[in-house]
Every structure is written in structure tokens, then in C-alpha cells.
Structure 1
Amino acid sequence: MKIVSKKLRDSARGQSCTLRLPGCGHDDGTVVLAHLPCGQKGTGMKGPDQIAIFACHHCHQIVDGPNRWEVPAADYLRALAETQLIWVQMGLITIKGAA
């Protein structure tokens, strides 16, 4: 199931970059929702919105560029976990039975 959510996409506005690669703009006002490379993403196709991170312009260019596979998977996973925790705090993702 591909999830498309305006609320998730809009949630990146005003956030800090969760990827933080060398040269990162952190919270320079360019942060958007960047879809991570996964089996459901390709040229002209975005992956599902829940498999995305907050990325500044610099980091987003890398995620969408030819060198995206040079980023260690651990960095993508950390950024995804941080982004999803922010969504839980914002009430955009809920986990049934979570305390």
C-alpha cells in the first residue's frame, strides 16, 4: 500500500534536517520531506510518504542523486527513526497499544 499524506509532507516545514550529512544545512529553511531510496521509488516515482525523512536542500540533493547509495544505511535508518518519532510526538503516526 502506498501512503500519500499531505500532513506528513507538510510536517517537514520548520523542522531540522534529520539526515545531517557533511555539508548539511540543518535548519536553514530548506527542509522538505525527502523520500528514501527503497524498492518502491524510481525515476519520476516517489516512495511511500512514511518512508521519508526531513532533509535540507543539500542532503535532499544527495538522497535523490546518483551518489545516494554511498550514504551508509545506518544514516538513513537513524534519520527515518528520528523523523518517525517526531511524527509520533506530533500525533501524525499513532501506535496501537503504545504507552
Structure 2
Amino acid sequence: MTRIVSKKLRDSARGRDCTVRLPGICNFNPETTVLAHLPCGSRGVGMKSPDLIAVFACSACHDAIDGRVRGAEVGEGDLLRALAETQLIWFREGLLTVKGAA
């Protein structure tokens, strides 16, 4: 998997609303939001997906994504929606560009 690391993308999560918003888990506190890498492909200690495959997650949702919350249901639909919302924010702010897009 291609390694994509971007300080600008990581920093863009600071102070943002959580895009994950897991029911019964999300703390809705932008002060705890970080860029949370989604599980895809190989996983393990020190192995993360590229920064493009990440979402704005509050500390509680991040813990659920990373499996640190017992019994937390993290649906693929929740993650896909959060990824789309995060990437559209990056696109609007010019942090993500698409050749030929208007």
C-alpha cells in the first residue's frame, strides 16, 4: 500500500466536528478531534492506512474505530459516510484536489 503522510491533512482535524458520530459513543467534542486512520489492508502496531483514508474523529469514536471500546458497533456505512464527509471538506478547502474537477 502506498504510504501517504500529510501534516496538513493531519492538522486539518484540529478543532473539527467529528464526522464519524457513532450513536451512543460520540462525545461531540471538537477539542478531542484527531485524524483517525481507517482500517484497510494490513493492520498492526505502527501500521496505518494512508492519510487519505482517514476521518475526523472525536476521542470516543477514534477509540471505537481502533477497537479500544468493548462492544462498540462500528459499521462500514458509518465509516464510508465519515470518509466522504472528510474528503469533501478537504476538497472544498483545497487540501485535496482532483484533476479536471470544477
TM-score (normalizing by structure 2): 0.88
1:86 aligns with 2:83: no
Quote the residue 1:73 is aligned against. Answer: 76
Q: State how far apart, in whole Å, the 2-side matches of 1:78 and 1:46 are.
A: 20
Query: Unaligned regions of 5+ residues in structure 2, if any?
Result: none
Shift >3 Å, 4+ stretches: 66-70
How much has 1:45 moved relative to structure 2? 1.4
TM-score, normalised with respect to structure 1: 0.90
How do residues 1-99 of structure 1 correspond to structure 2 at under 5 angstroms?
1-22=2-23, 23-65=25-67, 70-99=73-102
User: Alignment RMSD, CA only?
Assistant: 1.8
Quick check: 2:20–2:82 contact (8 Å CA) kept in 1? yes
Counterpart of 1:11 in structure 2: which amino acid? S
- Judged with a 3 Å threshold, the aligned counterparts in structure 2 of structure 1 residues 70 and 92 are, in CA distance, closer, same or farther, namely same
Percentage identity across aligned positions?
64
